[in-house]
Structure 1
Amino acid sequence: MMQSSSSSSVPGNFISKDTGAYDLGELDQALFLYLDGQDPNTLHDQRQSQGMRPPTLNIFPSQPMHVEPSSTKISTGLVSPSTSGSKRPLEPSMELANARNDASSGPEPAKSIKREGSRKGPTSSSEQEGPKTPDPKTLRRLAQNREAARKSRLRKKAYVQQLESSRIKLTQLEQELQRARSQGIFLGGGSLFGGEQGLPVAVSNISSDAAVFDMEYARWLEEHHRITCELRAAVQEHLPENELRLFVENSLVHYDEAMNLKSMVAKTDVFHLVSGMWKTPAERCFMWMGGFKPSELIKIILNQIEPLTEQQILGICGLQQSTQEAEEALSQGLDALNQSLVDTITADSLSCPPNMANYMGQMAMAINKLSTLEGFVRQADNLRHQTIHRLHQILTIRQAARCFLAIAEYFHRLRALSSLWLARPRQE
């Protein structure tokens, strides 16, 4: 028993004596691992079985019971080298695994930083750009602004084209005037308007400014027909009021252009306006001081714009009354001018040959008085201009559209009546 204990203790002492030298426990453990196919799971199971093995009673103790048996020392000595030996071949794999884990975990902070940076980038740009999805009110306002800008560009483009065409027509008109002067005759302005045939007159009877006005008025009629057709189509399509307003305002601006044309020719040849040679025969019958009578126009369109509110009726009635009063004042002033001219040129005897001194004095006075005729025509045009604009203010958008359509149709029928009158079969 003592020999066995001594023999058993000798290997233990021999094994645990020098740990720095070659260890037989490590060789045995390495041999076991090689035979087992270097399966770490088996070793792990062995470790668990040894670690979880419950303590057993040593039947053959080599030492007293209160002393730890040497066999356990031997076993622990055997196990410790095995575990140390098992740890050593596993250390490279563990180090490789730790290195991989470190390598895999290393870029994660950088990725997270990049993700945070990428998150911060859009948020900062979104904060600068504002909300990505604005409310419907803002979208509707932006759409209206874009539509208004588009229509403004179209109007500007049309206006530039209109100016270019007017320049070309003016150049052609100047060439025609030069040819007419060389031939000594010129057809009257009435020949420019649908169906009316002008009579050959002397070139001195119509000025170049009047001829330019006739050409520009003919162009104005063509443009007026186009604008009226667009307004009629807009009314028939039942467009919203904000879109219909553009067509109504175009018609209103177009009437202002006609007033500007008349004001330019009134400075140089007011008799051309008063005579109505730029109008058709049927239109001349209803002319008043170089144009239509505003109060009569109100009566014509009053039945075309119903129904009217009580306030609108009061406004239109007040406008008609004030217009009639202004017309009467201008008519009385024109009658007084006519009477004054008659008195001036008949102040001396109407003998032939007249007294040249008295004759030239009377003509000079008559010319000074006749210059006031331009003022009457301008005041009449201002009254027409104010009447149209006042109607536009009193009426709603749709009522104003019907009003302008009625005015255009009224003058169109007068021009058609003139054409039919001139084209009627004549009895011999």
Structure 2
Amino acid sequence: MTNLQTLRRLAQNREAARKSRLRKKAYVQQLESSRLKLTQLEQELQRARQQGIFISSTGDQSHSMSGNGALAFDVEYSRWLEEHNKHINELRAAVNSHAGDAELRTIVDSVTAHFDDIFRLKGIAAKADVFHILSGMWKTPAERCFLWIGGFRSSELLKVSSVLLLQSDFWHGALLGFDIQLLASQLEPLTEQQFMGIQNLQQSSQQAEDALSQGMEALQQSLAETLANGSPAPSGPSGNVANYMGQMAMAMGKLGTLEGFLRQADNLRQQTLQQMHRILTTRQSARALLAINDYFSRLRALSSLWLARPRE
């Protein structure tokens, strides 16, 4: 190798080493920036906690939030979701170990009661910031694609749970090579009466959803007409302040009904879950709850994959 080639190779090595150091430095800086952001967020949450703006999970329902209601609810929802996952893991373990009906019923009841908690928390949060709850910003992006009046559509979840009750366990077991006769003995297929009950519940839920959707559309139309047909904003002392303020007061009154729509939608979700449990046996209810949880888990996983996708 000539001296020129040696010098060229050394220069290339130095350049490669320099670029490597720059990449490492940028990576370290990115990690440090992420650490600082996390520390800042933890400090903000701690200050919020000290200011007493969090919703008490055990407090009465009339307790109102002060300060940043959206932040308070987001933290409470994260806490609720973490607790929900613990309940679901316990339920899954009980189903997989073929626990008795009494033990399974206790766990199913705890999962159902935990759903009641989130409806209660949403009701409290809506009094502080109904737009935050309706927007679904406390949900992941994929979940927000299916958002309906601040939550899930009961009729859609009934489809998810009933389809999986009819198919998933049997075919999943077959694909894994399980003994089909043994597997069939472990399952409780829906009876014709149960199937019709779920179908009727789904239909009634859909009708209630349609009625609420029509009510929301009518509210939006009425609000738009109120804002469009009112007096212009006063530009000075001679402006029609009284008419303008009257128009805005009317619009505010109409916005006030949003909380009622959210409450009705959550009541529908809550009642649908309760009715579903009345139709199904304990073991079927357990499997339906697991199916519903798996559905939302996949939506959250899809959101994570989407946000982490490579960007050109």
TM, length-normalised to structure 2? 0.70
Between Structure 1 and Structure 2, whose CA radius of gyration is higher?
1
2:97 to 237, 242, 259: 237
2:203 to 321, 332, 338: 321
The answer to whether the aligner puts 1:418 opposite 2:307 as a matched pair is no
Across the two proteins, how many residue pairs are aligned to each other?
Answer: 231
Amino acid at match of 1:347: N
* 1:277-334 alpha-carbon deviations (Å, 9 max, x no partner): 1111111110000000111111111111122101101111111111111111111111
* 1:121-149 alpha-carbon deviations (Å, 9 max, x no partner): xxxxxxxxxxxxxxxxxxxxxxxxxxxxx
Check whether the contact 1:207–1:269 (CA below 8 A) recurs between aligned residues.
no
Please show how residues 77-88 of structure 1 align to structure 2 within 5 Å. none
The answer to whether the aligner puts 1:401 opposite 2:286 as a matched pair is yes
* 1:210-241 alpha-carbon deviations (Å, 9 max, x no partner): 21111110001111111111110100001111
The answer to whether the aligner puts 1:259 opposite 2:119 as a matched pair is yes
Partner of 1:125: none
The answer to whether the aligner puts 1:382 opposite 2:267 as a matched pair is yes
The answer to whether the aligner puts 1:359 opposite 2:231 as a matched pair is no
Check whether the contact 2:231–2:243 (CA below 8 A) recurs between aligned residues.
no
Task: Report how far residue 355 of structure 1 moved.
Answer: 4.8
Structure 1, gaps ≥5 residues long: 1-170, 180-205
Please show how residues 214-293 of structure 1 align to structure 2 within 5 Å. 214-293=74-153
Partner of 2:28: none
Rounded to whole Å, the distance in 2 between the matches of 1:274 and 1:425 is: 30
* Cα separation, partners in 2 of 1:424 and 1:321, compared to 1, 3 Å: same
Rounded to whole Å, the distance in 1 between the matches of 2:254 and 2:294 is: 38
The answer to whether the aligner puts 1:211 opposite 2:96 as a matched pair is no
* Cα separation, partners in 2 of 1:283 and 1:350, compared to 1, 3 Å: farther
2:193 to 280, 294, 311: 311
Partner of 2:258: 373
Rounded to whole Å, the distance in 2 between the matches of 1:351 and 1:256 is: 44
* 1:365-385 alpha-carbon deviations (Å, 9 max, x no partner): 000111111100000000000
Structure 2, gaps ≥5 residues long: 1-42, 52-65, 167-188
Rounded to whole Å, the distance in 2 between the matches of 1:209 and 1:349 is: 33
Check whether the contact 1:241–1:398 (CA below 8 A) recurs between aligned residues.
yes
Partner SS state of residue 228, structure 1 = helix
Check whether the contact 1:287–1:293 (CA below 8 A) recurs between aligned residues.
yes
Please show how residues 153-172 of structure 1 align to structure 2 within 5 Å. none
> Which structure is richer in relative contact order (CA contacts within 8 A, separation 6 or more)?
2
Task: Report how far residue 358 of structure 1 moved.
Answer: 3.0
Identity across matched positions, percent? 58
* Cα separation, partners in 2 of 1:324 and 1:356, compared to 1, 3 Å: same
Task: Report how far residue 209 of structure 1 moved.
Answer: 2.2
Check whether the contact 1:244–1:397 (CA below 8 A) recurs between aligned residues.
yes
Partner of 1:175: 47
Partner of 1:7: none
Check whether the contact 1:245–1:397 (CA below 8 A) recurs between aligned residues.
yes
Rounded to whole Å, the distance in 2 between the matches of 1:365 and 1:285 is: 31
Rounded to whole Å, the distance in 2 between the matches of 1:352 and 1:288 is: 37
Rounded to whole Å, the distance in 2 between the matches of 1:305 and 1:207 is: 44
Partner SS state of residue 305, structure 1 = helix
Rounded to whole Å, the distance in 2 between the matches of 1:209 and 1:215 is: 10
Rounded to whole Å, the distance in 2 between the matches of 1:300 and 1:342 is: 36
Rounded to whole Å, the distance in 1 between the matches of 2:228 and 2:301 is: 42
* Cα separation, partners in 2 of 1:425 and 1:352, compared to 1, 3 Å: farther
* 1:161-184 alpha-carbon deviations (Å, 9 max, x no partner): xxxxxxxxxx984624779xxxxx
Check whether the contact 1:231–1:401 (CA below 8 A) recurs between aligned residues.
yes
